Structures are given as structure tokens and as C-alpha cells.
Chain A
């Protein structure tokens, strides 16, 4: 009776193929990814059957928190003249001009502060505190502090997060939110102005459980400055019609 001989086999698994696949997948994800931009508040947009895609460039996005705070984000096209940095500086200049026309306490920004502003993602602090806010950028851990301020997690109670958007508004005394939107329209970027005129240039992003009161306030503010057309950001409803 002969014994069955079991051949010793190496347990070495060839990982080359696996490696090939993972590298391919990695390349795919690296090329297709657009990173989530950090926003001061997380919102879940309501579902809708609308299949119109959001415009990626020339959009002024209004982020609305359920409590009624408002932040702005601006996405520009990639033309050389109106790069993100240029557009931001132009916007800040324009809003400063508009603000100084209607307020007694004049504001002005240094070149360094403008530089800091051009690098911001979302922004939303009262203009009177904007200088202080932008100065943080040069400090140690300044960016973290700025994020905290924007999100309202700052320990200093004087630091207000969100653009002031009071209810009483009349044509001759616009609130700061209206000044920003107006400044974006007048900053000289024709593409953005045109997009805003068509309604595609202003997008409201709000949580689905935000009360109508808050949404109505934002819409009303836009209506007052004749920004009657705008878009609402929605997620695609599963199942469709």
C-alpha cells in the first residue's frame, strides 16, 4: 500500500493582477472626484423629479441653515480674467463700495485681507467683522478658527456667523445679504451677471426640514432686489414620476 504523497505547494498568492485592478480603480476615482467643499452647515436637500443639472460655473450659491443663517459660495468659470481670486477681490471691492454708500461706519480692506478673502470657500460674517475675520488667516491655526467662526462654534459670543439678513427691508436700505447679491451682479463679470439674470446664477441650498418662514425670508430678500428668478438645489427623487 503506497502512501499518497501530497505535494507541498507554495502558499504564495500572486497579487500582481489584484494590484493592476486596484490601480485602475484608483485612477478612475482620482480623475472623477470632485471634493466635497467644506460648508459651515450640513444640509439635506429635498428630493424632486426635476432632472435639470446644476450649473457648475458662474453660480452664487446661497446656503441656508434651518435657523435662518445664510452663507454664500461663489463658483466662477475658469477664464483668466475672472479666475476665482480675481472675481473674489472684485466682489469684495464692490460690496465695500455699496456698504460705504449706505452706512456711516466705513469699512476698508488691506491687500492682505483681500488676498485672504480670495482663498475662502464659503463666506458669511457681517461686513463690520469681516476685517477681523480675514486677519485670522495669517494666524496660527487661523483656518480652523475661521471654520469655527463660520459654523458658529466660536467661543467668542461677539463673533456672528452668517450674513445679516434682517426681515425689514426697503429699497433704500438694503441688508448685507442683498448687498452681496447685488455686488455679485455688478462686479463686472458679464458671464455671472447674465447667469443671474437668467436665474441659473443664484442657487438656494437649504435643508428639507427648514421652515417655510426662513425660505420665504430669503426669497423675499431676493425679490426685493429684483432677483426674481433663481433655482433651488434638489436631489433626484428615486423612482421618478
Chain B
């Protein structure tokens, strides 16, 4: 291909002329191209970042008590993210994952009010350990059995239990989508239209005031890592939680955490 053959047209007559063969060696060209490709491959970002949108309430103090929306104790679930600390004489040193060097987070949760109806603090500020309703959980991915069924574990299972009513409806909608009840899924356009209809219906279910659903309050200790927060926000998305909020840790929460650790030494 890289050769040009010259057949000497009238070589016969004018004595002997050599057949010329011109070959272009492309090896250096290929070398150079490879270098350039390597450069571009290393310098580009192929994957675009994803985003997670969150909305927080304003910092302004609400003057009017009536305007404050209070989560009822039945529905409220508080999740506390804390960093795992090394036990022993130097408390405060964080446990770091030996494989990827990440801070290890622990997940705690409690239902309703801290310490239940009776409260955490007795007369004179005494700590009532027996009222501590804090429980420890884990961030675990789904367990998949041999048939391919997913089974939620850890904190996801807790959230799913609380949000059963909504999840059942969303699962039904998902099935409808798969069955083609939102329109055909044949072409790309049709699929997008069906998805849009599904999303609308699902968001209606999530926001339906008549369905009993939990209000999740996310709290985090200062030491816990940002990854833990994003993980929990992810769980909200996965489990179709419409009402959740990031809140500040209160003193009672800290007392409960301390108390829990004191009573549950590993």
C-alpha cells in the first residue's frame, strides 16, 4: 500500500532502467501517533461527574411557632452518622480502612424522640441508660440470593420497613412500567415518554399526604466523613423517601451516643 510501483514505460528501448519501488516507511508516523494518543487519553476526563441536589431550610429563626412544621414522633426516624474511633488510651483517633484509606463511618438510628416518651434525662440531669433507644446499624448493600431476589440489609432494611406503604406503590408502578402500561418501550422516544409518565406518577405517590411515610432526620457528628452523608442521602433516593432533612446534632444525641458506647463495648 505504501509503495508506488513505477513500471518503466519504454524501458525496453532505451537500455536497461531499473524498476523503481518507492516505499514510505510509516513506522515513525505510527510511533508519533501513539504518543499523541497516549497524551490525549491520559489528559481527558471521559466520565462526567454526577450530582445530587439537596434543599435545606433557611437558617432564619421561625418567629411564629405555628409556622414550624413538627415531625410527629411516630413518623420520625433519626439517623446519626459517626466516625468509628479507635478504642483505647487515645480516643479521637479515627479508624481508617486499611484497603482504601477511607474514614470508616458508623450508622446509628432511633425512632421518635430521643430516649422515647420518658426522655433521656432524669431529674437533676441524670442519664437514664434504660431509656436509650439508640440502635446501631450498618450501611450494607442488598443481599442477592440464587434466584436474583434482592433483600435489603442494615439501615436500608430499617428505612424500607418504615416506608413500606410508599415502596409498595412505587414497586407496583415499576411493574406497570415494565408491563408497558405507561406506553410502549420499543423506541428511544417512546421509552423516554413512558419514563417521564412513570416518574410523574412515582413522585405523586412519594408526596401523597394520605400515605403513611416516615420523616427522616439526618444528623452527623463533626468527625464523620462526607461520604457517610452522601451514602445516607443515597438511601433516601433508593428508598423513595420524600421527607428528609439534615439537622444539627443536639446535646441529647451526643449523650445517647456516649451512653450507647459505654454499654456496648466491643
Contact = CB atoms under 8 A, between A and B. Distances in A.
A208 B227 contact: yes
Contacts of A209: 101-103, 225-227
Interface size class of B (residues with CB under 8 A): 35 or more
A178 B37 CA distance: 43
A230 interface: yes
Contacts of B233: 48, 232
Contact of B56 (A48, A55, A228): A228
B146 interface: no
Contacts of A18: 26, 30
Nearest to B221: A212
B29 A235 contact: no
A36 B234 contact: no
A23 B52 CA distance: 38
Contacts of B52: 48, 50, 52, 231-232, 234
Contact of A15 (B25, B47, B234): B25
A163 B131 CA distance: 45
Interface stretch (A24-32, A79-87, A143-151): A24-32
Interface residues of A, number: 63
Contact of B58 (A32, A207, A223): A223
Given A26-B37, A236-B47, A199 B55 contact: yes
Contacts, number: 178
B226 A231 contact: no
B223 to A, nearest CB: 6
Interchain residue pairs A-B with the least CB separation, the first 8? A15-B26, A213-B222, A22-B33, A29-B40, A33-B44, A208-B227, A231-B51, A212-B220
Interface of A: 12-19, 22-23, 25-26, 29-30, 32-36, 45-56, 199-200, 203, 205-216, 219-220, 223-224, 226, 228-237, 239, 241
30 contacts: A15-B26, A15-B29, A15-B30, A17-B1, A22-B37, A35-B44, A46-B230, A48-B230, A48-B234, A49-B234, A49-B237, A50-B50, A51-B50, A52-B50, A53-B51, A54-B50, A208-B227, A209-B226, A210-B225, A211-B224, A213-B223, A223-B56, A223-B57, A223-B58, A229-B54, A230-B54, A231-B52, A234-B52, A234-B230, A235-B50
